[in-house]
Structure 1
Amino acid sequence: MTHTGNTRPADGEARATRRRRLQRLLRYVPLVAPVLLWAVPCWVLLYTGQRWPVPVTLAGTVLFALALIGMPLAMTRGHGRRQRDRAAIVGDTLLGVGWVMFTWSVLLGVPLRLVLTVAGVGDGQGRARIVTWAALGVTSVLLAWGYGEARRVPRVRRVDVQLPRLGAGLDGVRVVLITDTHYGPLDRARWSARVCETVNSLEADLVCHTGDIADGTAERRRAQAAPLGTVRATRARVYVTGNHEYYSEAQGWVDLMDELGWEPLRNRHLLLERGGDTLVVAGVDDVTAESSGLAGHRAHLAGALDGADPDLPVLLLAHQPKFVDRAAAGGVDLQLSGHTHGGQIWPFHHLVRIDQPTVAGLSRHGSRTLLYTSRGTGFWGPPFRVFAPSEITLLVLRSPRPSS
């Protein structure tokens, strides 16, 4: 069965407007976000009629205050110039805890209290305490479950994709997509090896990594990335850079992937041939590459397709889904992307939608171009995934004229 997802026309101007709004908003995030993340749940859980004993209120307030101060300090020490992994783990974990607690103290605070009032359950103090325990309970369950989801080997998601221009000889080509592995402060070398074992079990013709390999330089994260060298494919293993490579000496990652036997498709293509038919497999640098200042790094679709027969179907690797506007204009048949993590921690996907045309799954753009957006194989920052499961994607390409 062929999955086509939601069809939505490309609307570059509207997306550009949303991106400008997001950029303006992001200027204030470092100042406002920590205060909101910790002050709001502190108020909802401790100061909205609960009348806890004074020691409980003071202890709770101190914990929230320590989190408010400690989170940005730990993240600065962990992700700033010092690059202290232990500090990064503390800061990232607090960020995830704060986001989940903020979300559910807000979502449960007013509605649950209203329901309890209508139902005549308890007095004001009793209802306020029920809200507190409910929010803490939901937060604890989601964090425990989300941690397990983030650290597990992703489930395999199979998607059949019909490409009208795909020749019959290529019907059934198996393409495995991994992306956003984000090797980082938490050592995931064993996890990486298990992911690669799962990829190998899928017997892929083509294996793709669409960027954001790690948070940190290739030298620093080499041990976690090394298992990628064990990945097998009958035709090729290909890789394109993500935006996080450009925070961590991108050329070092390009060189390491080449050393591990992957072909970095830096604005170029290769040909996948089978049964007398040919598929163009192209890749572009991430859209942030040009602003990185690295010589020769930029997203250049024309360069990637230079010399390719325009009558052949094109599979394009581009880290960010928003590159699909250019892909559609260039006649690409299928773009594979990551970057969004599916939102990673619900309901963050609503913010992702401001910057990207899709969050996850298969979608159509223009008359020809399909886009598959992976939720990602690993996780960024907070070691939690809530209602946004990770994935290893098996895309089976289908021709409208399958061979007999």
Structure 2
Amino acid sequence: MSVEVEAQPRRRRSRAARFAVIVTAVVVLLFGVPWATLIWSGNAWPSWFFVLGTVIFALGAASFPVLMFTGHGRGLDWASRIADTTLGVVWVLFVWSVLGQVLGLILLAAGFGGPGRARTISAVVALIALVLLTWGYAEAMRVPRVRRIDVTVPRLGRGLDGLRLVLLTDTHYGPINRERWSRGVTEVVNSLDADVVAHTGDIADGEVAQRRAMAAPLADIRASLARVYVTGNHEYFSGAQRWVEHMASLGWEALHNRHLEVSRGGDRLVIAGVDDRTAAGSGVPGHHADHEAALEGADPALPILLLAHQPHQVDGAVAHGVDLQISGHTHGGQMWPFHYLVRIDQPVLQGLTRHSDRTQLYTSRGTGFWGPPFRVFAPSEITLLTLSTAG
């Protein structure tokens, strides 16, 4: 017994040590590669510039993990804002510094060497980063454009032909106050004359009490048939059950592994929702993705619209005969080339895809943003899906 008790602290120390090594390696790479490209790598800058640049990168690298932990670990928004912005800036600098090194090899092969080559690379990397970060910030902070998608659902009844479904997802109300942005989103949605408005999760980063004001405009969204919501993975960092209850208080149907029916013109549509795939491991009682519970009692002859936060959940949709799943989660990658990392975990990055003879999936790039207030080659969207019958 004593051996087992002693082994547990050792395992915890071992895990903590591995985590510390991984974090240190990531931080060194993220900050070290841009430092080497812009400051050190053969630029022959004046001594004062070299020292100043080195100090800035060193302070950034040292403070970044502390700010991340203080902000996201302890819920201090000011620290989260600085850490998230730093992450976005250093990610863009890292990516283009790597590409800059490739450019340097090409210039070297062409016989262009010396400080001139290094300074050219530094200038190109700095200019591209500045342009992308300025543009990416504007893209992240603007009210999203409307993306209009036509979806043919063969089993849809004639009375429901032309049904207008507006999809919101990944609003991520967080450390940056976006009450005005939230009101703008509501105004756009209400201009679309929706029959159904759906929110597929990741409403906020923070508890209801912290983000209540930003979420408040959701109460004013209009839909002629239904307003429906399911949890995303970030709800499970931020009081998932409280968000379920709060959305219900705002007049939304929280589809917590359940369904409802809407009808028009004598035809009916099942709208079901499942919890996020991370819910089962969250420790929140009663939360887990359960397709069978969500569809229990549903008429199998009716078409099914399923809300599920992650595209990864489409396998369950296929297995249960869902006609259309709508999802978010991927943000379309948010900041290139993070797109390629997202695709390792998810079957789809964005857009309308087919996964069986019956099941289609629409994946939104997201309405808001997470973390870094930048969107690079992955614009946000408010999606208007128009459903039609076959033929």
Could you tell me the TM-score, scaled by structure 2's length? 0.93
- Determine if contact 1:168/1:400 at 8 Å carries over to the other structure: no
Structure 1 residues 374 and 28, CA gap change in structure 2 (3 angstroms): farther
Aligned residue runs from structure 1 range 101-120, under 5 A: 101-110=93-102, 112-117=103-108
Match of 1:51 among 33, 44, 47: 44
Q: Give the 3-state SS of the residue equivalent to 1:336 in structure 2.
A: strand
* AA partner of residue 95 (structure 2): T
Aligned residue runs from structure 1 range 21-36, under 5 A: 30-36=23-29
For 2:326 and 2:300, the matched residues in 1 are separated by 19
Whether 1:381 and 2:366 are equivalent positions in the alignment is no
Whether 1:37 and 2:27 are equivalent positions in the alignment is no
Deviation (angstroms), 1:290: 1.3
Whether 1:199 and 2:189 are equivalent positions in the alignment is yes
Q: Give the 3-state SS of the residue equivalent to 1:394 in structure 2.
A: strand
1:327-360, Cα deviation, whole Å (9 max, x unpaired): 1011101000000101100000111011111111
Identity %: 61
Match of 1:61 among 54, 75, 85: 54
Aligned residue runs from structure 1 range 231-242, under 5 A: 231-242=221-232
Whether 1:277 and 2:267 are equivalent positions in the alignment is yes
Deviation (angstroms), 1:113: 2.2
**Which structure 1 residue ranges, 4+ long, deviate > 2 Å from structure 2?**
25-32, 112-121
Deviation (angstroms), 1:118: 5.3
For 1:144 and 1:198, the matched residues in 2 are separated by 24
Structure 1 residues 319 and 28, CA gap change in structure 2 (3 angstroms): farther
Aligned to 2:205: 215
1:62-85, Cα deviation, whole Å (9 max, x unpaired): 1111111111111100011x2110
Deviation (angstroms), 1:31: 3.5
For 1:214 and 1:301, the matched residues in 2 are separated by 24
* AA partner of residue 92 (structure 2): V
- Determine if contact 1:319/1:338 at 8 Å carries over to the other structure: yes
Deviation (angstroms), 1:115: 4.0
Aligned residue runs from structure 1 range 307-386, under 5 A: 307-386=297-376
For 1:281 and 1:26, the matched residues in 2 are separated by 42
Structure 1 residues 307 and 363, CA gap change in structure 2 (3 angstroms): same
Aligned to 1:296: 286
* AA partner of residue 311 (structure 1): A
For 2:352 and 2:237, the matched residues in 1 are separated by 29
Deviation (angstroms), 1:289: 1.0
For 1:29 and 1:396, the matched residues in 2 are separated by 46
Q: How many residues align?
A: 374
Aligned residue runs from structure 1 range 5-16, under 5 A: none
Q: Give the 3-state SS of the residue equivalent to 2:371 in structure 1.
A: coil
Q: CA RMSD in A?
A: 1.5
Deviation (angstroms), 1:250: 0.7
1:88-130, Cα deviation, whole Å (9 max, x unpaired): 00000001011000000111222x2244345555x42101100
Aligned to 1:173: 163
For 2:137 and 2:162, the matched residues in 1 are separated by 35
- Determine if contact 1:269/1:281 at 8 Å carries over to the other structure: yes
Unaligned segments of structure 2, at least 5 residues: 1-17
For 1:153 and 1:366, the matched residues in 2 are separated by 34
For 2:56 and 2:357, the matched residues in 1 are separated by 55
Deviation (angstroms), 1:27: 9.6
For 2:356 and 2:389, the matched residues in 1 are separated by 19
For 2:22 and 2:338, the matched residues in 1 are separated by 14
Deviation (angstroms), 1:29: 5.1
Unaligned segments of structure 1, at least 5 residues: 1-24
For 1:259 and 1:301, the matched residues in 2 are separated by 25
For 1:162 and 1:56, the matched residues in 2 are separated by 60
1:172-230, Cα deviation, whole Å (9 max, x unpaired): 00000000000000000010000000000000000000000000001110000000000
For 1:280 and 1:162, the matched residues in 2 are separated by 16
* AA partner of residue 113 (structure 1): G
Q: Give the 3-state SS of the residue equivalent to 1:63 in structure 2.
A: helix
Aligned to 1:11: none
Structure 1 residues 284 and 188, CA gap change in structure 2 (3 angstroms): same
For 1:134 and 1:70, the matched residues in 2 are separated by 27
For 1:38 and 1:115, the matched residues in 2 are separated by 24
* AA partner of residue 122 (structure 2): T
Structure 1 residues 370 and 148, CA gap change in structure 2 (3 angstroms): same
Larger RCO: 1 or 2 (CA < 8 Å, sep 6+): 1
